[in-house]
Structures are given as structure tokens and as C-alpha cells.
Amino acid sequence: MKQFYLTTPIYYVNAAPHIGHTYTTIAAEVIARLKRAEGYDVVLATGTDEHGQKIERAAKAVGKSPQEFTDLISAEFSKQWTELGLQIDRFKRTTDPEHHKKVQELFLRCQERGFVYKSSYTGAYCVSDELYANEAKPGEPCPICGRPLEEVTEENYFFKLSAFQDRLLELYEAQPDFIQPEIRRNEVLAFVNGGLQDLSISRTSITWGIPVPNEEKHVFYVWFDALTTYMSAVEGEGRWPADLHLIGKEILRFHAVFWPAFLMAADWPLPKQIFAHGWLLFENDKMSKSKGNLLRATPITNVVGIDALRYFLLREVVFGSDGNFSLDALVARYNADLANGLGNLTSRTLTMIKQYREGKVPDVPVLDAVAAQIAATQQQAKAHYARFEFSKALESIWALIGFLDKLIMEEKPWVLAKTGEAARLDTVLTSTYRALQVICDLAHPAIPASIDKIRAQMGQDGQVGDLTPVFPRLDAKLVIPQMQELEQAELARQNALLGKTPEVEPAAAEVSAVSPLSPEITIDDFVKVDLRVGLVISAEAVKGADKLLHLKVDIGEAEPRNIVAGIAKAYAPETLVNRKVVIVANLAPRKLRGIESKGMIVAASLEGGSPVLAAFLEEVPVGARLK
């Protein structure tokens, strides 16, 4: 049997799984299903990347040992894939001793062949990307992630990456589809053409890693360690080389340059293809921990089902490009394509067969026009799937659904039944039924659980089974708040699991005095708050209240507003007149010491210190809204 081995990246355990990880894993699982349907013996591997300073720091931030911490989060990942019903064949952790052996073997082979040497490095280093930034200075932003670089001095083992420039270029030339899509291939070509510098592959500044053989102080650089999982995950199974590494575009260089070079140095076979997909953006912004805009998958799937999410991600996002994620769009897609489209066609077709033919599918040939449409759809969908063009594949399958809807409208089986045109009715019913079978075959890799349900209702031996709606319509007003509520609960659960500040980013770790953040809100929540630029017209002390000032603030309305603010200890009234401030303009009025206060002044409130008013460095017009 032909084999097909594909991988997802192994995910860092410095945070619990979120929808970005789920995106890659779902895409990989769809490809695995497609290949299985083509008759391949498929293995899909994923796992967790557990070593390095970033993880060490994340563990420390929550008062756990690295091992305790990684055990906990790695389990979250494997549990997540099970909960989502994703069929994963191998789950490899970099803390697995078998994996350690493989990394050491890779190193020794590179060393034996003269591609490794020892040298010392002083300079800038990015903890987050675990990368030496040879051309930048400490304190400058990391060229990859933009976080400030730190200074390190270390004795390292270096890998002679510079020796592989020509061989890599030959590889990209000889196998034009080694890196996909084309735009990513061009990026890599430009990078390699620009020259390659040797790469440090060991660290002495950290202990949480795989030891370098015969070296007490050195552990392997995380990427040397992590990439090797692709081999250790199938060690001894005769499945290497991988047919496909599916990754996000931000880790392309590691996969398309470093990894093949390591393998060339070790004289091991190279993977056949690397496909880098785009980012899933949350309302046009990159999802990120520091922005706090991550969504978890299970709060979504527990409300609308896994196939709603699978379908949305595959249909809405052009695979390879960035795409937007939003719950509104998810619900809209579901209702249009699944409830109205496929769901409706299924129920109409099967109900009519029940009603007019006692559930028995007539054994007559399919209409020529339908047969032609089926053949065209099969050909198109398969061609798109083969190029991982999921959205186009689904689009062509859904075009067949549209075609059948139209056919039913035109043929009007309910009229044929009344007027006794039995032969034509048989043909129409059979044609729709057979086409629906093909739709099921083609859509199965994308939405397997729902298609299994449809197939059960379509019955066996041409006898339709019991009917229940597979895609009940969703009411956005109902389900979106439900998903958001579950998201909060899931976030709280993860926080509890991880200690109080699980989302600590290495670069932000220094800001340890920050009080815990309020629960996450959506942009919709935020825009409810109307913040305006105001000009203070007058300010005076409030009698009998030593903390309060009574201000009149102009925000461009007919009259200035009365605002009572607790800033008397920090600001003398006369210093405020003519000053521009930020006010919350739509706050419900409140009476303080007999004065009705209409709004609140925004200030940084420091623990145990005085408030500091928000202000602008540039000129801003009175009344301007902040958002």
C-alpha cells in the first residue's frame, strides 16, 4: 500500500491550545482524509514543543517545574484534538526519551561529516524566537517578532549552514513544488540567495533542553530539537521521509532552510513538500496572546458543532492566504451553506422519496444533465483538493447543490406526483439522490461527522432511513453570546490550570507589577464606551470633600458638562483649566455631594499613588472620539 506521512508543527506549550493551532491541525486532518480516500496508508503526526527558555520562563511564571508545566499543557493539546474528534495518528512530545536519542543521533551524524564546530558568540538574542540576531544590537527589536533583543555571551556549537547555500538552491530548483505556495517559495529563494550564516545549535545559558552528547553544559537549540520530531514521531516505522510538512508561514525559514540543511548534513532523506499557510486573523488583526484576542475552539464547537468550524475555516479562508475569523461570519456561513444549502437539499430529497416512493430510491438512470454536472464537479473538486485549495473545492461542490436546488424548482416533483408523471418523477428523485451521494463523498473529508449522519439517513440498499435535521438553523443572537460565555469559562479554566497569569509573554515578564487583567471583552463591548476629548473650562474644590474637584468640561456639546472627579489630591484646580482631558461621555450620571456628575475623567490609577490624567502629545480637537 502506498504510504503518506504528513505533519503539523509541534506546538509550543507556553500557552494552551487556541484556534490558530486548531486551524492547522484541522487542515492537516482534512488532507489525511483526502489521501486515505485515495487509498494511501496515511499517518498524521502532531505533538508538543516543550524545551527552551521560553517554556522555562513560562513555567517559572506560574510556579511550576518545567516538567510539571509541560506535562500539563501537552495533555491539553492531546485532549483538545480528541475533543474535536480529529484523527491524529502520532502525538510526539520533545520530552520523550526516544526523541532525545534521535536529536543526538542527528547531531553526531552532522558532526562526523564535519558540519559542526564550536565557537563563541556575544551579541543580541531573542528569547521568544530563540534566535541569535547577528546583525542587531541588544535592546533593538527582534527582526522576526519585534520584541527587544537581550545580550548573551555563549560558547556554542555551530552548524555550517553557510556550506549549504548551493545545495539548497539546487533543491528548490530541482523540486519547484518543495515549498508551496509559490509566494513562499520566492521568499525562501530570496533569503537563501542573500547568503547564509552559520547557525548556533546549542545553548549553555539554559538547562531545560536535550543534552549535547559528551558535553555537560550544552543543550540543543530548540529548533534543532523540535524539527527532529518529524523523524522521531515515526521512528522505526519506515515512514521517513515525510510527504508533507504543513506549517504556518511564520516558521517557513526553519522548515525550508534549516531543516533540509540539517538532513543534508546528516545524509538523511529530505521531506517531499512544505506547505506554509497564512494566518487566521481575528477581526483583521493577528491573533496573539499579547493582544489577548485568541479564541479557543471548544467553546465554539460545543455550541455549533465541529463541522460548523471545519466548514467555516476551509470555505472562508483561502488556504495559503491570511483570513478573518469572526463568530458572526461563522454563523452566517453555517446558515447559508449548511442549514439552507446542504441541509435543505438533503431533507427535500429524502422527504420526497419517502413521500412519493415509500422511501425506496427508484432504480432508473440519472438525467444526462445531472450526470454531466456530477462528473464536472468531481473533476473540479478533486483537482482543487489536490492543490489544497479547500475553499475552491467546497465552492464547486456547493455549486452542484445549487444546480440541484434549481432542478427541483424547475421539475416540481410535487406537480409530477399529482399529474401522475411517474417516470419523470422517478428520474428526478434518483438524479437528486445519486448527486447527493456524490456530494457526500466529496464533502466527507471536510465535514465527516455531518456527512456520516446524512449517509445514515440516505440509508442502505436504496431504502431511505429516519430523517432528522443535520444542520438546524442557528440564531446568531442566541448562539454568539453562548459561545462567548463558554469562551470566558474556558479561559478561566485554563488560567486556573496554569496559575494566575498563564499568558505571560517572555518579553512582558519583567512587567511583573501589573495587576491582573479584567476579563476579555470583544470590540463590540469596547465600542459601547464613548470616550471623548474634553477641554476643562473651569475647576474648583468641592466643599467638604478634600478629594473631589468640580469641573466643567467642554466636549463640543451645547453646554459644558459638570463632572466631579476624585483628583483633588493630585491636581490644584487652576492647573487644570484649559487642559485637554479624556472623559467617558456616556456613563450614567451620578450625584456626588449634591452635584450631578455627567461623565468620568480617565486617569491612570496607581496602586497607593496619585491618579495621573490621560493627555495627548499632539493637538486634538475637542469632542474627538477615542477608539
Q: How far is CA 408 from CA 414, 471, 571, 591, 615, in A?
A: 9, 20, 76, 66, 65
Burial class (CB in 10 A: 0-12, 13-18, 19+), 97: exposed
Stretch that binds ligand MSP, among 68-76, 246-254, 463-471, 478-486 (CB under 6 A): 246-254
Stretch that binds ligand MSP, among 245-253, 346-354, 363-371, 568-576 (CB under 6 A): 245-253
The reply to whether 585 sits near ligand MSP by the rule CB under 6 A is no
How are beta strands 323-325 and 280-282 bridged, if at all? parallel
**Which run of H or E residues covers position 563?**
strand 561-565
Among 12, 91, 221, 240, binds ligand MSP (CB under 6 A): 12
State the residue for C-alpha cell 536535550: 210
Give min distance, CB of 45 to ligand MSP, in A: 11
Give min distance, CB of 311 to ligand MSP, in A: 17
Residue 80 has φ and ψ, to the nearest 5°, of -60, -45
Distance CA 262, CA 268 (A): 9
Site for ligand MSP in 214-243 (CB under 6 A): 226-227
Among 287, 504, 539, 565, binds ligand MSP (CB under 6 A): 287
- Please give the single-letter amino acid code of residue 475: D
Q: Is 558 helix (H, G, I), strand (E, B) or coil?
A: coil
Biggest alpha carbon–alpha carbon distance for the chain: 95
The reply to whether 275 sits near ligand MSP by the rule CB under 6 A is no
Give min distance, CB of 287 to ligand MSP, in A: 4
- Please give the single-letter amino acid code of residue 574: E
Give min distance, CB of 291 to ligand MSP, in A: 11
Measured from each CB, the residue nearest to ligand MSP is 20
Q: Which residues contact 322 (CB under 8 A, 6 or more apart)?
A: 278, 279, 280, 281
The reply to whether 9 sits near ligand MSP by the rule CB under 6 A is yes
Question: By C-beta, is 87 or 586 nearer to ligand MSP?
Answer: 87
Among 107, 172, 279, 471, binds ligand MSP (CB under 6 A): 279
Stretch that binds ligand MSP, among 10-18, 34-42, 449-457, 510-518 (CB under 6 A): 10-18
Phi-psi region of 348 (alpha: psi -120 to 50; beta: other; left: phi over 0): alpha
The reply to whether 356 sits near ligand MSP by the rule CB under 6 A is no
- Please give the single-letter amino acid code of residue 340: N
Contact (CB, 8 A) for 464 and 350: yes
# binding residues, ligand MSP (CB under 6 A): 18
The reply to whether 251 sits near ligand MSP by the rule CB under 6 A is yes
Give min distance, CB of 332 to ligand MSP, in A: 21
Give min distance, CB of 416 to ligand MSP, in A: 49
Distance CA 95, CA 548 (A): 59
Distance CA 6, CA 27 (A): 11
Stretch that binds ligand MSP, among 15-23, 152-160, 347-355, 449-457 (CB under 6 A): 15-23
The reply to whether 96 sits near ligand MSP by the rule CB under 6 A is no
Of the candidates 514, 513, 512, 506, which has an alpha carbon nearest to the alpha carbon of residue 14? Answer: 506
Give min distance, CB of 227 to ligand MSP, in A: 5
Of the candidates 73, 36, 70, which has an alpha carbon nearest to the alpha carbon of residue 51? Answer: 70
Site for ligand MSP in 161-200 (CB under 6 A): none
Give min distance, CB of 105 to ligand MSP, in A: 17
Among 23, 125, 319, 356, binds ligand MSP (CB under 6 A): 23
Question: By C-beta, is 51 or 561 nearer to ligand MSP?
Answer: 51
CB atoms within 10 A of CB 164: 22
Give min distance, CB of 397 to ligand MSP, in A: 24
The reply to whether 11 sits near ligand MSP by the rule CB under 6 A is yes
Distance CA 446, CA 33 (A): 8
Question: By C-beta, is 69 or 279 nearer to ligand MSP?
Answer: 279
The reply to whether 20 sits near ligand MSP by the rule CB under 6 A is yes
Among 6, 21, 80, 581, binds ligand MSP (CB under 6 A): 21
Give min distance, CB of 106 to ligand MSP, in A: 13
Of the candidates 308, 310, 244, which has an alpha carbon nearest to the alpha carbon of residue 277? Answer: 244
Distance CA 498, CA 501 (A): 7
Question: By C-beta, is 225 or 411 nearer to ligand MSP?
Answer: 225
532-544: b or e for each residue (b if 16 or more CB lie within 10 Å)? Answer: bbbbbeebeebee
Give min distance, CB of 238 to ligand MSP, in A: 21
Among 4, 6, 24, 264, binds ligand MSP (CB under 6 A): 24
Distance CA 319, CA 441 (A): 21
Contact (CB, 8 A) for 385 and 393: yes
Give min distance, CB of 49 to ligand MSP, in A: 3
Question: By C-beta, is 9 or 560 nearer to ligand MSP?
Answer: 9
Give min distance, CB of 524 to ligand MSP, in A: 21
The reply to whether 209 sits near ligand MSP by the rule CB under 6 A is no
C-alpha cell at 173: 530548483
CB atoms within 10 A of CB 466: 10
Residue 329 has φ and ψ, to the nearest 5°, of -65, -35
Question: By C-beta, is 523 or 527 nearer to ligand MSP?
Answer: 523
Question: By C-beta, is 250 or 441 nearer to ligand MSP?
Answer: 250
Give min distance, CB of 279 to ligand MSP, in A: 4
The reply to whether 203 sits near ligand MSP by the rule CB under 6 A is no
- Please give the single-letter amino acid code of residue 371: A
Q: How far is CA 451 from CA 216, 380, 384, 415, 423, in A?
A: 55, 20, 20, 30, 29
Among 5, 35, 49, 133, binds ligand MSP (CB under 6 A): 49
Question: By C-beta, is 281 or 595 nearer to ligand MSP?
Answer: 281
Contact (CB, 8 A) for 161 and 82: no
Give min distance, CB of 51 to ligand MSP, in A: 10
The reply to whether 248 sits near ligand MSP by the rule CB under 6 A is yes
Sign of CA dihedral 292, 298, 302, 307: positive
For the chain, report the end-to-end CA distance as a whole number of angstroms: 59
Residues lying near ligand MSP in the complex (CB under 6 A) are found at 9-12, 20-21, 23-24, 49, 226-227, 247-248, 250-251, 279-280, 287
